[in-house]
Structure 1
């Protein structure tokens, strides 16, 4: 989360939009994002120019050499009316024309983008404010988007935008994307999971860019994201382009509907799907209803994961706690499907404060592999108690953090075999889970050690009470004597 000085700067920029007449939060975020994008395009260009100069190689820039004033670093110093004219009539049309073939995610969703800042004075203030935002750190960039989205009154109700960056990063590190993976987030929001996955690949598989085929796959077919909000699609497309992914598949789609025809197409699902209650059966794909007859989105998305994954594909998905222990036929059906027909590997329970201040719901991460033939022998449970931040609305950084321990232990599961049920993580045999109605709540299996507390004999306690009463009576008498004087 962003705090302190950066948060204050963002709030001041938001206030400029508000007082300038742009009061719809989504419009503010769109216009804010366009300006951030223009600034970051120039910053990325400067880095590439410096690298080319250092290596002594020729570089063909993104910006036309005869139009240097299209760059943020140039027009930001101009007088307000001149800057406004250039941004409105030249810079904005320029960014809309990027990837002009119309096939890229960026070009699809920038086509209907509109520049709505009404006056030169307002633009000048916004450019000055945004120019002082330090956006070099990728986590800061993601946190900034998240903070902006927190200002949408409805954003907290569907869980779509609320995945903290450190939770996303942990999930990516648990499933370890590979250069050959085909990754999807069926409810992508701002593409946080896709951004984190590409960062992981750059950090741990940088050699993939030396292979023409893998490089082509990375830029064009590896990353896939779907959403039903065109604003989110625009932000997600810009986010991926700024992170160096040229042409991800980002599309407007209701992933749970008949419109989604994907079957066994992906090798990795990373998701925190919205838990917005119930849908009408008519709006849900019949294929999903065959797996689980329910109107609940959290169960339908798990069924969707199983349908769209290839055999051997993996999933790390956040679910509300009710999925783990719900007693309805549909809840049990989904859990049974995961355990009996596929390989459920881990259930990581997270404390309810993880999604504050937006929501206080308790959640868990389910990690499983699609096999179609079973394979669940035992399930690893982890009881996360701290994620490095306070679990209240302020979410201040703290020293307690289970995330490094979760990653280390999940990567060394052979060493977990002898862990006791009183420990923070342990295995549970599949037969025990079956006997408990496929209940996946950690509290069903966790054992608590109680320490015996010894109390004094009642006679001794009574004597102490009488002594205290005598002391109180003596003190009252002293007060009476003082009042009589």
Structure 2
């Protein structure tokens, strides 16, 4: 296709006329399953050339090139015939493919991808038009395939403004910065236990790809990533994303990381590097908490993922993880236990405080990047506040965060010094003992109050609830200390 930039627009314009498509999220989900089949078809053609005995898991009549391709002869199915084929034949066939434990990943992903997929379009003529636009992509052409990887990125970015689906997308500037700072090495394995559409996996791949020098390097590169995603839609997007980025055997599982006992993990379940942005703001049921030691069994999703990360990191492994402010200032029992474990068993060397609206419009909650490794206990932790770039009041769809906005942090990273501006700490080092004295409240080098943004009501209530919980925990702790000194139990006095 000569005009790749018009790809998304032309599909959007066609879909606007279809009564079955209701909003951006459905439109992107509709594009997703067709793109997956188109990309998978191109991959299969490569595999057939490379492997003499390659047999597709997809029956011939359901392969993209056999039903979707329009050769201009007028024989391509369209209208009601096409709708019936997709709804009555194609989807049931792909959803019911026979898969077992012996089925190779690159084949079993077809069934997993279609398990909960939907065809929303109701007009078979419009569906044919969309299929034709997608089919014109020449994924066999390296340049076009590479360029389409960027187009796919723009499709994923649109998820940010497609309601709740935005939770699966971390801005690329953030994932690229984290992958850059973690310094990937050939031969290392990297995991994301809530991988969404695969942003961290993509950034890792891009950073690591530059270091490939031999065929053995390429083999190690191909098997370096591992992801788990609970929800079907982002899982489908992630698999397609990995295939587009040259990962022929994407080790991506459609599963929930929180449903396994963390104490059961063996060395085979551990990774050299973990990069992730755990879902936060959610509350988990008690049956999920049962998979964690009682002192770490928080009801908050992000807290539980922190425990998963700690139990699944190899010796000398490295982590970069995004966590909300509530994790930093939280001093309730579970959060304190998690942070105690973090400082005593891991080296929490750096916390980068990120400006507000990085995840806008999905959430206005302010977030942070924690960098730690498993090389021994923490001796000191550096805090660095990344300020909003000059000329920006907020990040937005039209003014998103860019990798260059991290330049001050990258420059500081390699030449650390304490910085204070107008009486507020911008960069400062704290010893482990100092953090313990603060009862593990890591809310340090924060933003001056005049920069604070009025949050939407839902986020504001969430933040107040977290602060109240932490305040109550602090009050209880202090009352307990006073009671101990005075020799009575304050709980009995109430």
Q: TM-score when scaled to structure 1?
A: 0.72
**1:154 alignment counterpart:** 164
Match of 2:170 among 131, 153, 163: 163
1:321 to 319, 325, 341: 325
Q: Which residue of 2 aligns with 1:15?
A: 16
- SS of 2:260 mapped into structure 1: coil
Residue 310 of structure 1 deviates from its aligned partner by 1.3
Residue equivalent to 1:472: none
Q: Does 1:431 align with 2:423?
A: no
Counterpart CA distance in 1 for 2:305 and 2:64 is 47
The number of residues matched between the two structures is 417
> Offset at 1:347?
0.5
Quote the Cα distance in structure 1 between the aligned partners of 2:283 and 2:183.
Answer: 33
- Distance apart, 1:259 and its partner CA: 6.4
Structure 1 gap ranges (5+): 50-57, 449-485
- Residue in structure 2 matching 1:190, options 191, 197, 204: 197
Question: Aligned pair 1:402/2:405, yes or no?
Answer: yes
Q: Is the 8 A contact 1:75 1:83 kept in 2?
A: no
Q: 1:143 aligns with which of 136, 154, 177?
A: 154
The aligned residue for residue 34 of structure 2 is 35
Cα-to-partner distance string for 1:54-97 (whole Å, 9 max, x where unaligned)? xxxx9789999x99992899627564853677995899999999
Q: Which residue of 1 aligns with 2:313?
A: 309
Take 1:439 and 1:38, find their aligned partners in 2: how far apart are those partners? 49
Could you say if the C-alpha distance between residues 447 and 284 of structure 1 is closer, same or farther in structure 2, counting changes exceeding 3 Å? closer
Does residue 1:82 correspond to 2:77, yes or no? yes
Question: Which of 188, 202, 212 pairs up with 1:206?
Answer: 212
Alpha carbons of structure 1 residues 98 and 196: separation in structure 2 relative to 1, 3 Å: farther
Match of 1:102 in 2: 103
Distance change (3 Å), C-alpha of 1:263 and 1:9: farther
1:368 is aligned to 2:379:
no
Q: 1:74 to 1:154 in 2, by over 3 A?
A: closer
Structure 2 CA distance for partners of 1:434 and 1:139, relative to 1, 3 Å:
farther
Q: Deviations over 1:323-373 (max 9, x none)?
A: 1111212222222221222100110111121011221110001111124x4
1:258 CA displacement:
2.8
1:25: how far off? 6.2
- Matched with 1:178 is 185
Post-superposition offset of 1:278 = 1.8
Unmatched runs of 5 consecutive residues or more in structure 2: 138-143, 451-494
Q: TM-score scaled by structure 2?
A: 0.71
Q: Are residues 360 and 10 of structure 1, via their aligned partners in 2, closer, same or farther at CA, if it must alter by over 3 Å?
A: farther
**Contact 1:345–1:380 under 8 Å retained in 2:** yes
Q: 172-181 or 112-121, which moves further after superposition? A: 112-121
Moved more, 122-131 or 173-182: 122-131
1:252 is aligned, of 246, 251, 254, to 254
SS at match of 1:283: helix
Q: Give, in angstroms, the shift of residue 245 of structure 1.
A: 0.9
Q: Could you tell me how far 1:240 is from its partner in structure 2?
A: 1.0
Change (3 A) 1:141 1:399: closer
- Map 1:450-469; keep pairs closer than 5 Å: none
SS at match of 1:402: helix
Secondary structure (helix, strand or coil) at the match of 2:315 reads strand
Q: 2:284 aligns with which of 279, 282, 285?
A: 279
TM-aligned CA deviation for residue 392 of structure 1: 4.5
Structure 1 residue 184 displacement after superposition: 1.0
SS at match of 1:194: helix
Deviation at 1:232, TM superposition (A): 2.3
CA RMSD for the aligned pairs?
4.2
CA distance in 2, matches of 1:398, 1:179: 29
**In the TM superposition, what is the alpha-carbon distance from 1:103 to its structure 2 partner?**
2.4
- 1:246 is displaced (CA, Å) by 1.6
CA contact (8 A) 2:385 2:446 kept: no
Q: Which residue of 2 aligns with 1:242?
A: 244
CA gap 1:229/1:384 in 2 versus in 1, 3 angstroms: same
Structure 1 223/392 Cα, relative in aligned 2: closer, same or farther at 3 Å? closer
Q: Return the alpha-carbon distance in structure 2 between the equivalents of residues 201 and 351 of structure 1.
A: 28
